[in-house]
Amino acid sequence: MTVGCIIPAAGRGERMGRGQPKALRTLAGASLLEHAVRAMAASRQVVHIVVAAPPDQVASTGSLMGSLRIDARVDVVAGGETRTDSVRLGMAAMPETCTTILVHDAARPLVPIDVVDRVAAAVEDGAPAVVPVVPISDTVKQVDEAGQVVRTVDRSELRAAQTPQGFSADVLRNALAGEDLDATDDAGLVERAGYPVLVVPGDQEAMKVTRPLDLLVAEAIVRRRSGRVH
């Protein structure tokens, strides 16, 4: 099994406030993207990484990637209008020798190596698509446009989906071949294409850095990992 990884990093990240693309926000002295690439390359199984960067930042992202001392090969391509477009463009640049593909958000900089290995191993064991998930701690309400609660969803049946999501390369190519597709995650596309999607345990530290508070939490995790707890 040869594992390739696509990192969509072309989002503008409006929820973080104005400024540079979200993937280039700084966390403990490096961009979220650098952390995410290092985290994926930490799994020795990942041999090839394709980053989808904002179209006007392909060259600068390429130099940034060149400065990382990692064993995996890293290519940078221009991302697209939507996340799905960025993944499709990343997949087009992925060598055919990679038979297992992991798709990982640049916005999840601290994914632990165990999660990466667990997802890759489940694909290797024959699952067409694999998603790491965590339980949901808040009670979830479905609401209508008037601001009324329609129902309370049974939390025990719900999970929050993280990345990397893993796919057999053929399955991901088929799922991405549809027209006008967009999904907030790739497993959603694969699900719609009719394939079964397996879940494996994720990890709270694979959190998505979306809002300013998330950055504070991520910084605390980095400090704890490097032994500086205060």
Q: Does 186 bind ligand C5P (CB under 6 A)?
A: no
Strands annotated E in the chain: 3-8, 26-27, 30-31, 46-53, 73-78, 100-103, 129-135, 141-143, 149-152, 159-161, 165-168, 198-201
From the list 9-17, 68-76, 95-103, 147-155, the region that binds ligand C5P by CB under 6 A is: 9-17
Three-class SS state of 64: helix
**Structure token digits, residue 107:** 């916005």
Taking CB under 6 A as the rule, which mask of x and - marks residues 131-170 in contact with ligand C5P? ----------------------------------------
CB 126 → ligand C5P: shortest distance, Å? 28
Distance, in Å, from the CA atom of 222 to the CA atom of 44, rounded to the nearest integer, reads: 21
Instruction: Work out the end-to-end distance of the chain between its first and last CA atoms, rounded to an integer number of angstroms.
Output: 42
Class of residue 97 by CB neighbours under 10 A (exposed 0-12, middle 13-18, buried 19+) = exposed
CB 130 → ligand C5P: shortest distance, Å? 18
* Count of beta carbons in the 10 Å neighbourhood of residue 178: 11
- Cross-strand bridge partners of residue 75: 50
Q: Does 103 bind ligand C5P (CB under 6 A)?
A: no
Binders of ligand C5P in range 21-40 (CB under 6 A):
22-23
Question: Which residue number, 82 or 174, has a Cβ lying nearer to ligand C5P?
Answer: 82
CB 226 → ligand C5P: shortest distance, Å? 24
Q: Does 106 bind ligand C5P (CB under 6 A)?
A: yes
Q: Does 82 bind ligand C5P (CB under 6 A)?
A: yes
Question: Which residue number, 2 or 62, has a Cβ lying nearer to ligand C5P?
Answer: 62
Q: Contact positions toward ligand C5P, by CB under 6 A?
A: 8-11, 22-23, 52, 79-83, 86, 105-107, 184, 210
